[in-house]
Structure 1
Amino acid sequence: MRKIIVIIMLLPVLVMGQKIPFNQEAKDIIYDSVYEVNGTKDELYTKAKVWIADIFRSSIRVIDADDKESGLIVCKGNIKYTVVKDGIKGRGKRRSIEKFKVDGSADFNLKIFLKDNKCRIVVDGIQIPMLEEATAAGLGDLKAEWAMLNSITAIQKDDTIEERVRFNNYQNRDIAVNNRIGDMMHSLETALNKKGDFDF
């Protein structure tokens, strides 16, 4: 049964034109993209700080490293997501699957590297708060989920309805988190390309 609980991160889920980016060397899920953007390193730094304050409400609480001279900002972030989950209704042969919406959140590390007309955005250390029993099984830490399994890639024909539901729920959750991280990275890229507040 444990195989189904942790399997989903192994699926080659294609979202926003890319798979969930598992880094084999680091054994971790790492989003790492370089963007061409408009502005000097100092201009981009100011825009990034404004974006962080807007997105995370208080940039003071989330920023771990802040080096304007080298163009580096490292912070901790949290994103909210909504996912459609499956639930089992009824008993015995009358059981059926019904769908319902659930809100969740994911914590992560965000690293922003800036230089003239260029930006690198790295998101890693993704953690999804889970129920106590799931945390004890090593779930919620996407890196741990990947490390626990390396071969199963699909629901098996003889899996129970509970296993199928659990499998689908983890798949849907990971797609939702992947979408939100992609949206966030795109939002930062857009903010860096906009005219600054002082460009008037």
Structure 2
Amino acid sequence: MKSFVVVILFLLCFPIVGISQFDKSDFTFQRIDSVKASKQELYFKAKSWLIKKFIDSKEVIQVDDKESGKLIAKSTIKTPHKAMAGFSGYDNTEVVISVDVKDNKYRIRFYDLIHPYGGEYKNDKPKNTMMLNKSGWDKVKERTIEIVEPLISEFNTYMKTIKNDNF
């Protein structure tokens, strides 16, 4: 019991690191993290990432509310697939990306993913079974996870590089 208390005290000495979550039931990705920066700095940093990552930001950013610290973007991500006869290609999966910021903390979410043949990612089976069977749908989902998780990591790294220009 004594060693358990020591371990707990030891862990409390370290700052809490970001938490990434993936909810398979509704196919939602989320990361909450902290960084020593103002709400305004985090807001502009997040908006800058969206603009750099998604070229046509005027079309992509749907909600741009500096006061509340909220950005919502709708875009597409290229998801790889293997079709019949070994041909590989990409499908454009629609996604909603939301970023919420406040002093020293931010959250990014990828949700409402929609595949052109599979439909909503939260569905167990694809909507168009002529173009995509259940096994293919499961592979599309796996590949999409492999695309989205690095995007969230990239965003996190970008947010952690806050530059202080006090000269």
With the shorter chain as reference, the TM-score category is 0.7 to 0.9
Change (3 A) 1:19 1:58: closer
Matching residue of 1:46? 44
Displacement of 1:35: 1.2
Q: Equivalent of 1:126, from 113, 118, 130?
A: 113
Aligned: 1:168 with 2:135: yes
Q: Give the superposition deviation at 1:19.
A: 8.7
SS at 1:195 equivalent: coil
- Is the counterpart of residue 183 in structure 1 residue 162 in structure 2? no
Q: How many pairs align?
A: 145
Instruction: Give ranges in structure 2 of 5+ residues lacking alignment.
Output: 1-19, 127-131
Aligned positions of 1:5-16 closer than 5 A: none
Show the counterpart of 2:24: 22
Q: Distance in 1 between matches of 2:21 and 2:155?
A: 20
Q: Could you report, residue by residue, the CA deviation over 1:108-161 in whole angstroms, capped at 9, with x for unpaired residues?
A: 11110101221111111111112xxxxxxxx32223x23x69xxxxxxxxxxxx
2:70 equivalent in structure 1: 72
Identity %: 25
TM-score (norm 2): 0.73
Alignment RMSD:
2.9
Separation in 2, partners of 1:70, 1:79 = 27
- Structure 2 match to 1:115: 102
Secondary structure of 2:133's partner?
A: helix
**Residue aligned with 1:70, SS:** coil
Q: Which runs of 4+ in 1 moved over 6 A?
A: none
Give unpaired runs (5+ residues) of structure 1.
1-17, 88-97, 131-138, 150-164
State the 1:33 CA deviation. 2.1
